[in-house]
Amino acid sequence: MFKYLTRPLHLASRNAIRALSGNAATTASSGPLIEVNQALNGWENKLKDAGVQDTEFNIKCIVSHVLGKKFSTVPDDFAQLKFNSAQLADFERFLEARCARMPLQHIIGEWDFMDITLKTAPTVFIPRPETEEFVRLVIQQYKQEKHVNMLEVGCGSGAMSLSMLHSLPQVESTAIERSKAATALAWENAKMLGLDNRFKVFNHTMEEDKYMPDELQDKQYDLIISNPPYVKTEEFQFLHPEVVVYENLNALDGGSDGLRIARLVFELACRHLRPGGKLWLELGNEHPPLVKTIMNLKYQGRLNYVASYYDQYKRERFVELQRPEA
């Protein structure tokens, strides 16, 4: 009860502060300092009302971004942290955007994936936590190899390829990506991380009988990885606003059974894997048994089903396939 009585007061005082500091900002960039804890007031509920989950984490990410501090160095209670008026304005603008369900990773313009930090961009698919597990699994398999020539199909921001390159110096990666924005972003990330000497990315849309860009027509690889779009078309109505409104649907739409793009990747792998080479895929949780059936029925002698793996939520999600030895 008390909270409801005092809240309008807090809101009023916050608006007052904003009005004040707004004036200050025009004369000096610093202006009066506002305690972060004071600036937070009411936002947590606003976020919750907008349907945002994990609000504390969202707020902490935005606070550390606004202050230009590393996430891990910001205390959970924000003790002694202050915003100047420009920062306060940013903070409120970002939270407003978050209430409109803009993905947190787009708001702060970067995201951590395994050991690297990647720039994000609107419309480019944001890597998910489970994809970290997938990459970790693949890294485990190739740690001991002397040299790995890898192809990634649909690299998005470059998360998978670049974290592989970051962990394993013996890997060289070529990527193809259909979105121009993502192709540019992946290249930018590679340069930013200093991995551009072992990374190539081609803007290319995979089609039947034109799986690879002309330059790569006769190339073969030791390893192909992909996290192809695997959301079934009928599932689109259930997706979160962050996904439907802000992410590129081309990176998600897997057709009626979710395997439309994966099927193209199978064909590509038959042609561009060296004999004995492997294809690793991250898919949806109903897909591995389906892939096994498809392999047995349609790909005998061309591609073998080796194994499937579970993610931490105990969902069967990752698939390992192999081109038979010649």
Partner 1 sequence: MSKLDGVVNCLEQHRALQRNITSEQDLAAEKDEDMRALMREENNVYTDLLQKQEQSMLQELLTLSDDEHYPALIFEVNAGAGGQEAMLFAQELYDMYTSYFDHMGWEYEQFSYETTDIGGLRHANLLVNDADAYNWLRYEAGVHRVQRVPSTEKSGRMHTSTASITVIPRPADVQINIAEKDLKIETKRASGAGGQHVNTTDSAVRIVHLPTGLAVEAQSERSQLKNRELALRRLQAKLMQQQLESSEASKQATRKAQQGNLNRNEKIRTYNFVQDRVTDHRIQGGTLHNLSGFLEGGQQLSGLIERLQVDRRKAHLVELLETWQPPQKAADKS
Summarize as ranges the residues that interact with partner 1 (CB under 8 A).
53-54, 57-58, 61, 69, 71-75, 80-81, 103-105, 111-115, 125-126, 128-133, 136, 227, 229-231, 235, 238-240, 242-243, 247, 251-252, 282, 284-285, 311-313, 315, 317
Judged by beta carbon, residue 212 or residue 231, the one nearer partner 1 is: 231
φ and ψ at residue 40, rounded to 5 degrees: -70, -25
CB of 129 to partner 1, least distance (A): 4
CB of 188 to partner 1, least distance (A): 20
- CA–CA separation, 204 vs 201, rounded Å? 9
Judged by beta carbon, residue 124 or residue 212, the one nearer partner 1 is: 124
The answer to whether 102 touches 87, Cβ cutoff 8 Å, is no
Strand order of the sheet with strand 171-177?
Answer: 199-203, 171-177, 148-153, 221-226, 273-282, 316-322, 304-310
Judged by beta carbon, residue 126 or residue 212, the one nearer partner 1 is: 126
CB of 118 to partner 1, least distance (A): 11
Helix or strand holding residue 4 (H, E): helix 2-27
For residue 289, count other CB atoms closer than 10 A to its CB: 12
Judged by beta carbon, residue 14 or residue 106, the one nearer partner 1 is: 106
Judged by beta carbon, residue 77 or residue 209, the one nearer partner 1 is: 77
Judged by beta carbon, residue 144 or residue 237, the one nearer partner 1 is: 237
CB of 111 to partner 1, least distance (A): 7
Nearest by Cα to 223 from 326, 304, 323: 323
CB of 321 to partner 1, least distance (A): 19
Nearest by Cα to 265 from 232, 309, 231, 227: 227
Nearest by Cα to 158 from 181, 139, 175: 175
Residue at token pair 């099927």? 263
